[in-house]
Structure 1
Amino acid sequence: MAVLQVLTTSVAVALLWVVVESIRRLFFHPISHIPGPRLAALTWWYEFYYDVVLPGKYIFKIQELHLEYGPILRITPDEIHINDVGFLDTVYTGLRDKYEYPLRALRVPGGVGATADAKLHKLRREALVPFFSKRNVLSLQHLVTEKVNQLSEIVASHAKEESQINLSDLFFAFSNEVRGEISGIMKVQSSGTDGKSDRNPTEKEAVYESVLLNESLPPQERTLTRLEQEGALLALAGTESPSLSLSIIFYHLLANPSILDRLRTQLETVPVDASWTQLEKLPYLMAVIEEGNRLSFGVTARIGRRAYEELIFTPSSYANTPGTGTPNTEKSYKIPARTPLSISTLSAHTAESVFPDPFTFDPERWLGESGRERKRFQMAFTKGSRKCLGIELSNAELCLVIAALVRSFEMTLYETDARDVSFEHDYQIAMPKMGSQGVRATVKFRV
């Protein structure tokens, strides 16, 4: 009898908590004044349904909800999403903590990209900045060139037979490195040697070594566990992002001969062995890369920020209703300090007020003064103090790979269509249709 009474009391208390908490979330929560569906305000199960059951679809549902509720939207009990690229700088620049909730999915709390606290992030990032600087990437260009040559040799082996090749797999393999570096440095540290025998004096030491030996970092920031997590996240970011951009770029180059011809014409203005610094001066090549990065969408998961101060959101002229071109002007909204808010890369990169016909691969949108202005809204590498460390290395890889393959080989798409590079599922990065085998092509030598 006592057990039944305890059980009954527990159920009653639980139900009372649900009722009280529901009322609080709907009517007394600090963001209860923000528009959005009641279910999203009540429970995270709403997000769970679209992201897990469907799966990976909540980011698209959010875009649909903006059509109904306007440019500011409450998407979970605690979180706001904004569909207005005019508010990007407010959200992503200045001193901002990351929203902890989505970071847990990465399971690498020691990685710089998964660090929520802004001050700790700054400390960790500063230890890595010298390695990823443009100057250091230039000193390491010979290593990138060696990898590009290996890539070209693999493609050439298929060209000899005019056989099919999976470009997506090839680009992933090209981008993937650093797995063995960390274990090697650990062995060096444990053996007591410095491991710097043959290093070029102009090169910054290896990325992990630069952290292990950096005495400006406190001891807890130089533990091997923390370093392993840093390495795992850097390897993930350094592999997925450039390989996806390359797959998207080559699909659209092969699907649009006029774009490919124009790119080849420009590449003919520089030597065959042109360096990265020569290639990055070619406007159309860089426009192709910008467009590939835009349609790769970078980190597709919501990258929420928490401001230390109260913010005011007033829709800008960029907050257009998709397809109408009409400014979606509404009243201003107060956003309490510490409220998680985000603008997804899907929202930013498909804003028709900035990118007309947003799902069309159009490098010309990045040319001229208007193209330079659009770079303000490029979120493939995020913005502000949290901007991706590897942007220079990624640009070097993309320039050298595109130049090498476009100049040397003719390719024809093989059993590949637009859905093999489309954004259909959000798994932290943009994923295409289920069952896609990636971008495949038949390859032969250019004559």
Structure 2
Amino acid sequence: MAIATVFQAIETTVILSLLLTVVGAVRRLYFHPLAHIPGPKLAALTWWYEFYFDVVQPGQYVFHIQELHKQYGPIIRVTPDELHVNDIGFLDTVYAPSMNRRDKYEYQLRSLRVPGGVGTTASYDVHKKRREALSPFFSKRNVLYLESLVTKKVEQLCQLIAKHAGEGTPVNLSDVLFAFSNEYNFDIVTTNFLFAQQSDNLADEAKAATLRHNSNELLLGVHLNKHFPWIPDFLESLPLSISKPMMPPGLVDLLDLFERVRTELLAIMKAKSSGKVGEKPVGPTGKESVYDSVLDSSVLPPLEKSLLRLEQEGALLVLAGTESPAKSLLILFYHILANPSILSRLRNELNTVPASASWTQLEQLPYLSAVIEEANRLSFGVTARLARIAYEPITYTPSSYVTTPSSTPKSYTLPPGTPVSITTLSAHTNETVFPDPFAFDPERWLGEKGRERRKFQFAFSKGGRKCLGIELAGAELYLTTAALVRQFDMTLWQTDETDVGFYHDYQVATPKLGSKGVRVMATAL
């Protein structure tokens, strides 16, 4: 009798589950607030559709979405709850509204698992407060104050390449630029903004290669984090002695970074509680570090000053400042080496200013600026969908920039609370703004038309959520490009476009899996 009761309960549970599934499916397809938006039925029905192109077809959903637009038009439903718009004319409405707030989509933010960072804050209001406490340290004025330190890091990079030039051995630019950008952030951002420890990745190229490899391996897991957050949740619930051996090396590196940040934070908090006054020059901000500003902030509540929150903030500032600038530099040097006429024109322009030219002087060079803009465009910044959520109805009407077919220019009303995204791939390959979009063509950024195109540059996002470190990245890109072009003649070695192309989306543009990186032979000039 008891066994029959158990089987009856199981049968009832299965039937109820099936009924709930059917009811849920009918609702998503026919009664959901987004049911009127075009798109594949499977995408509207289940997140497994996204999973398939994220994980089974590794990092391919961003490309598949572009194909779906060719079939369904400029606005489509890409998950049961989210829309994607392939219309660069809608960019400011989604990402840079003049007045209205925009939240980020928490479902997508769980890929990185650092909710305490300013870049991974979902709430508009919380983000605004966190950013206000950090902004003075990332202002152009403060970066200019630190320019001599930036120059020293660039000189160290040049010394490493000069060593290879003297020995006649190839340089793996993917490794050394990643290590340089990572070390640049540690030594410029952390030493002057956060804490006292420094890294020394450029001194050990094997370590630099391992660092990049581990980081790439870690990024390969971002889609699993999004679709199966319980896996990292479970690992984090275990004692480190059990979970650490199961972790990929990149995650172990990340934990080490968190530990370094935590140690320094505890020291800063202890010094502040004891009333100890630092002796470091404070510069234009009037504060010794970011954390001095945050801990003294009157706009941040006590929870925002907790050890865990500030630990995540510090780690994310370092991580976010490594990938994008390193990727832009890699794209830039691959293409100028693959196109000698671009390199020659760039070198001729650099010869019009002194070798000691400052960042602000270099910014005045139109062709150098154009080369950097094009490198940023083809690096694509963050390639993942970064949806925004509006709290007012939005009307979408196809603009003159639409390139995908649409039977009629139909308008759609998007209900409040709808996550809407435009990927950087979609924005940066719009052929009405960027003809022959995958060609590296700096001239598209010159003259009046070039200035007009800059409003569509999306590598650093837009509006109030624009990348906090854009000025710091600018100093890195200008000073590094000028120094390497002036000091070295480089040729590509066992490298082709597949080593820099955008083939997979793992939060950033990822080349062919298994790529050894961009390698060059260098000669000192």
Structures share a fold, TM > 0.5? yes
- Rounded to whole Å, the distance in 1 between the matches of 2:449 and 2:476 is 26
Cα root mean square deviation, aligned: 1.4
- Over 3 Å counting, the alpha-carbon distance change for 1:410 and 1:100 in structure 2 is same
- Rounded to whole Å, the distance in 2 between the matches of 1:329 and 1:160 is 63
Residues 6-33 of structure 1, C-alpha deviations (whole Å, 9 max, x = no match): 1000000000001100000000000000
- Rounded to whole Å, the distance in 2 between the matches of 1:266 and 1:327 is 45
The percent identity for this pair of structures is 63
Please name the residue that 2:475 is paired with: 396
- Rounded to whole Å, the distance in 1 between the matches of 2:132 and 2:278 is 22
**Which structure 2 residues correspond to residues 51-62 of structure 1 after superposition, within 5 A?**
51-62=54-65
Please name the residue that 1:264 is paired with: 347
Please name the residue that 1:202 is paired with: 284
Question: Between Structure 1 and Structure 2, how many residues are aligned?
Answer: 442
- Name the SS of the counterpart of 2:148 in structure 1: helix
Please name the residue that 1:50 is paired with: 53
- Rounded to whole Å, the distance in 2 between the matches of 1:334 and 1:39 is 22
Residues 222-253 of structure 1, C-alpha deviations (whole Å, 9 max, x = no match): 11110111112111110000000000000001
Q: Which amino acid is 2:471 matched to?
A: E
Contact kept, 8 Å, 1:131 with 1:205, in 2: the verdict is no
- Rounded to whole Å, the distance in 2 between the matches of 1:427 and 1:193 is 45
- Over 3 Å counting, the alpha-carbon distance change for 1:264 and 1:328 in structure 2 is farther
Q: Which amino acid is 1:169 matched to?
A: D
- Name the SS of the counterpart of 1:347 in structure 2: helix
Residues 121-166 of structure 1, C-alpha deviations (whole Å, 9 max, x = no match): 1000111110000101100111111111111111111111121011
Query: Going by fraction, where is helix more abundant, 1 or 2?
Result: 2
Please name the residue that 1:135 is paired with: 141
- Rounded to whole Å, the distance in 1 between the matches of 2:480 and 2:388 is 34
Residues 384-435 of structure 1, C-alpha deviations (whole Å, 9 max, x = no match): 1000011111010000000000000011111110011100110111100000
- Name the SS of the counterpart of 2:171 in structure 1: strand
Please name the residue that 1:236 is paired with: 319
**Are 1:310 and 2:409 an aligned pair?**
no
**Which structure 2 residues correspond to residues 323-402 of structure 1 after superposition, within 5 A?**
329-402=408-481
Residues 84-104 of structure 1, C-alpha deviations (whole Å, 9 max, x = no match): 000001101231011111001
Please name the residue that 2:382 is paired with: 299
Contact kept, 8 Å, 1:308 with 1:337, in 2: the verdict is yes
Q: Which amino acid is 2:306 matched to?
A: T
Please name the residue that 1:88 is paired with: 91
Q: Which amino acid is 2:267 matched to?
A: K
**Are 1:124 and 2:206 an aligned pair?**
no
Which residues of structure 2 form unaligned runs of 5+? 196-260
- Over 3 Å counting, the alpha-carbon distance change for 1:202 and 1:307 in structure 2 is closer
Residues 19-59 of structure 1, C-alpha deviations (whole Å, 9 max, x = no match): 10000000000000000000000000000000011110000
- Rounded to whole Å, the distance in 1 between the matches of 2:415 and 2:155 is 53
- Rounded to whole Å, the distance in 1 between the matches of 2:21 and 2:406 is 40
Contact kept, 8 Å, 1:208 with 1:231, in 2: the verdict is no
Contact kept, 8 Å, 2:265 with 2:311, in 1: the verdict is no
**Which structure 2 residues correspond to residues 155-194 of structure 1 after superposition, within 5 A?**
155-176=161-182, 177-178=185-186, 181=195, 182=261, 183-191=263-271, 192=274, 194=276
Q: Which amino acid is 2:392 matched to?
A: E
Contact kept, 8 Å, 2:282 with 2:288, in 1: the verdict is no
Residues 295-314 of structure 1, C-alpha deviations (whole Å, 9 max, x = no match): 01001000000111101111
- Over 3 Å counting, the alpha-carbon distance change for 1:194 and 1:440 in structure 2 is farther
Residues 278-309 of structure 1, C-alpha deviations (whole Å, 9 max, x = no match): 00110110101100000010010000001111
- CA offset at residue 216 of structure 1? 3.1
Contact kept, 8 Å, 2:66 with 2:426, in 1: the verdict is yes
- Rounded to whole Å, the distance in 2 between the matches of 1:83 and 1:219 is 42
Contact kept, 8 Å, 1:422 with 1:432, in 2: the verdict is yes
Q: Which runs of 4+ in 1 moved over 6 A?
A: none
- Rounded to whole Å, the distance in 2 between the matches of 1:32 and 1:162 is 62
- CA offset at residue 328 of structure 1? 7.3
The TM-score with structure 1 as length reference comes to: 0.96
- Rounded to whole Å, the distance in 2 between the matches of 1:269 and 1:200 is 35
Please name the residue that 2:26 is paired with: 23
- CA offset at residue 185 of structure 1? 4.4
- Rounded to whole Å, the distance in 1 between the matches of 2:301 and 2:461 is 28
Which residues of structure 1 form unaligned runs of 5+? none
Pairing partner for 1:284 from 353, 367, 372 = 367
Please say which of residues 327-336 and 305-314 is displaced more in the overlay.
Answer: 327-336
Contact kept, 8 Å, 2:382 with 2:507, in 1: the verdict is yes
Contact kept, 8 Å, 1:93 with 1:383, in 2: the verdict is yes
- Rounded to whole Å, the distance in 1 between the matches of 2:283 and 2:470 is 23
- Rounded to whole Å, the distance in 2 between the matches of 1:144 and 1:195 is 26
Q: Which amino acid is 1:149 matched to?
A: E
- Rounded to whole Å, the distance in 2 between the matches of 1:23 and 1:217 is 45
